[in-house]
Chains A and B, each alone.
Chain A
Amino acid sequence: MIEREQVLHVAKLARLGLSDEEVETMAGELSGILEHVDRIAGLDLDDVEPTSHVVELENVLRPDVPHESLSPEVALASAPDPEAGAFRVPSPQAEE
């Protein structure tokens, strides 16, 4: 069972704002889904290698040759608040 406090903690980790109502529904829905997911918790898989990737690939390397990249104008074209060739964001320190 996921408690309200856990929902708030995870939302903070995910940088996701949730309304009070969303926190309530999320607690119930996540609990339901995790209850289903918990069916795999009891499987004895101690000696099994985890799979992170299905394709057997060795490291893929390429020659380190400089090539053309996006120009600053193009890279900034979709930014919500571009300024002087950079992405502007609110100050990391909240104003008084």
Chain B
Amino acid sequence: MKELLAMTALEAHEAMVAGELDAAEYADAWRAAAGGDELNAYLWRDENDDSPGIAVERPSVAPIAVKDIFCTEGVPTTAGSRILEGYRPPYTATAVRKLIEAGAPILGKTNMDEFAMGSSNENSAYGPVLNPWDRGRVPGGSSGGSAAVVAGGLAPWSIGTDTGGSIRQPAALCGIVGLKPTYGAISRYGMIAFASSLDQCGPFTRTVADAALLLAILQGADPCDSTSIGLPSSPRLPDREDLSGLRFAVPAELASDAIEPGVREVFEATLKKIEGLGGELAEVSLPHAEHGISAYYVLAPAEASSNLARFDGVRYGMRAPSSGDVIEMYEATRAEGFGAEVKRRIMLGTYALSSGYYDAYYGQAQKVRTKIAGDFKAAFTDFDFVVTPTSPSVAFGLGEKTDDPLAMYLNDFFTVPMSLAGIPAISIPAGLAEPNGGGPKLPVGFQIAAPAFAEQKLLDAAHALEGAIGFDARPEGVPGG
């Protein structure tokens, strides 16, 4: 048997089922590893806390780290915000409940951009997460902690949320697998809402097979989330080894110079691997995808400005001291409790929804959303998948983009269109590339998108491609292989 921490979650699970691995001993080994967090990736860990909300009676699945956006009964849940400091929810999110019921001990809650707003994890009120490949760089965001713990050997797998790329982009920047399922595949109940029509929970894993195993645990309709549908059938482990008969579309709009040369090189080498496996490649036009960022940065802040109205210092969270009436208390609490990016998005969203601007911004963005979904629908009549680089660059330096909100938003250029269309997309590590300006090589993600509810097909293809890529690099000191 492999060294405990080098096993994938699937290998560990199979060893447990075969009676060759003691689940409690395995979980303890991971608890010890998580205790060595030097990346600021965990906001809370399960040592010294035996809350009934997260207790697992008989562990039988690999332990897991959970983004701090999921409510966990009795366990601090901050969503990376000062306004929820010390908050212990009275209930547990459905996704986490399913993990517990499946026998997965909860290792801890992971750091994140405040209310999932960000692409670098620098918007956390509790400090940035460091990229395990280079601690001077960001892990991506908003699920930066969930990506860093898996890449950094602090958890075998984790869950995060993706609204416009918050699973796929950090997975790419940290060299692991990240899957955003179809909107509605997994319950959003207990997941602190950012943009309700876009938010979706999904897995971070080392392998595509682990992602399939985790998706099988998480997916399903939930009476507590009326927008949840679940998948048509429970995902099985992917076993496909070739791509013959499958057609991959490469958006013509990718001929943009916004992509780093190193990223482009890895992307093109991966396209050759697809052909080597018998897959067919052709160019497709997604004429409205380029407007994805514009539409997204109207729709998501608009929904956020409404969702975040609940943080007012009345029922939970912090309340700032104020001397005036209740309105002054709201204003003071929100001024003190929210960080700069959250304030910016609340302002943007409130503006876009305000009288006189609604049709020009929100209405128009909703129509662009229809067109983008239509572009994908048209592409999927001829193709099985659409592929892009996950992110235009490898991990960038801490502080490099914090002064320019728009430059930060453009990180999501390749991931936002799929979110707007509600379709599933996976990022798998495709190789290493030198960053612009030089330096040690860093991971590059390859994104594959599929039609709604075609997760099985997506996982099968990603598994075949993963085998051909054979990515086995790890940050220094992280066991794996």
Contact = CB atoms under 8 A, between A and B. Distances in A.
A9 to B, nearest CB: 8
A16 to B, nearest CB: 5
A23 to B, nearest CB: 10
Interface string A1-39: 010001100110111111100100010011011101111
Q: Is the interface of A mostly helix, strand, loop or mixed?
A: loop
Interface residues on B, range: 35 or more
A84 interface: no
B211 interface: no
Interface in A32-75: 32-34, 36-41, 43, 45, 48-55, 57, 60, 62, 70, 74-75
Interface string B340-371: 10011011101100100000110111111111
Contacts of A38: 294
A50 B367 contact: yes
B322 interface: yes
A13 B373 contact: no
Contacts of B223: 62
Interface string B76-92: 00000000000111110
Interface residues of A, number: 54
Contact of B406 (A10, A36, A93): A36
A90 B364 contact: no
B206 to A, nearest CB: 30
A45 B331 contact: no
B330 A15 contact: yes
Contact of A43 (B338, B350, B368): B368
B365 A40 contact: yes
A14 B305 contact: yes
Interface in B131-164: none
B332 interface: yes
The 9 A-B pairs at the shortest CB distance, nearest first, are namely A54-B422, A17-B335, A50-B366, A80-B319, A17-B331, A78-B316, A60-B226, A45-B367, A94-B325
Interface of B: 87-91, 183-184, 197, 223, 226-227, 229, 291, 293-295, 297-298, 305, 309, 312-319, 322, 324-332, 334-335, 338, 340, 343-344, 346-348, 350-351, 354, 360-361, 363-371, 373, 405-406, 409, 420-422, 452
